[in-house]
Structure 1
Amino acid sequence: GLFAAAGIVYLTIALRSLVSHAEAIRRPLLRGEPVAARRALSMIVSRDTAALGESEIVRGGIESLGENLIDAVNSAVFFAVLGFLFGGLPGAAAGAVFLRAANTLDACWGYRNARYLHFGRIAARADDVLHFVPARLTLFAVALGALFCGMRSGAALRDGIRHRNDHPSPNSCWGMAAFAGALGVRLGGPTVYGGEAEAYPYWGNGRAVLRPNDLLRAERLAVVSALVFAAIVTGVGALCLQ
């Protein structure tokens, strides 16, 4: 039962995949191949990538790490621990699978367009509710992760709180703005989707021109923050069992 539950939970956590996608963006940039980097970025974001320069490509990669650290990693860990508290090993597996299923439905249907607006509304709202607590805990995990990585822990907290509502999603900016503060860069700003520009505000007041090395730092921050999050959540879960 232990190995079965561990295997199921492992399959719902996409940290390795998240970092691999970021590497697939960064390595072509280091080789001077922006077309390949844009193609890799287009695999994980919905924005238009065909005309992006190096700095905007890196920005997209970092924002994806900050947002999907919540969706693809931390929320699954959170619901696995929550499920374990209520149902032991089967509950842990069920909790993680439940979160991944809801997240996948949102990815398939949760779009605000003519085709999916009404059909996908329940999936989108359910996804927002399920990520609500993990997103806010992720802010503190990123701040602690930044401390361990020698980055700007205080700025991660400040920017995450300051910009938490500066995105249509109620959860995304907790991670993205925290990454901006921790890395000392500026993220956000105008973004083109389907040929139309969305006037997002900027997150953070750091350096505006981004380089491939910033994406490498963001990858390290994502891994350390995920480990910190897992330690916090499992620690709290262990205390609740006593």
Structure 2
Amino acid sequence: MLRFMPVGDSMTIGSAGEHTWRYRLWQHLCRSHGGPFTLVGPRETLYDKVAEAPTSYAYARPDFPRAHLAGWGEGWQHMAPLIGDAVRSCRADVLLVSLGLIDLGFYTNAEQTAENVRAFTAEARAANRRVRMVWLPVTPNVRARTDAAFAAEVARFNELLAKTAADLAEPASPILLASAPPAYDVSADTYDGTHPNASGEHKIAAAFAEAMHQGWDLGAPYTP
């Protein structure tokens, strides 16, 4: 059984009442992946905005493997120390990673964030030498529209992420850099300029699905 682990920040954990892109990708793989698979991870909840804690199970559609390693306000620097144990305990085969926005927004610059990507990769491989990874670049965000310095850091990090993927890719442990979701519009695809609404969830799921289909011939082209 192929075991996918979604890894990410608030856009991946989602909040109460949402489907999440994890669900959208699960739907797609159920239609297109020929072999047995599941989603794994040490966490399962959504973020509850009222309680301000990841305590909700109120998925819009709860009937899918809800496991993940994602956290509201967590980035590469937070996940790097956790990923080894998560990969080991959950026996993850493929990591679907969407991180970086929170790092650049609050914690680290582009170069420091890229170093945390390297630390994350080393820890994941220490747990499973054959782990595969798909990395999503930082998606458009409302802050980048008005904060030129932040926009420059995002652009710089996305360049470094591509370089790091090329530098660290190994035949036994390949890394795919997904393409940024085409035509991702912060006005149309998010509900607050950052977090995806239904169309945004589909576009993020599609980015992962297309990368795996094109890079590994896994699944099929994404159809909502």
More strand by share: 2
Higher Rg: 1
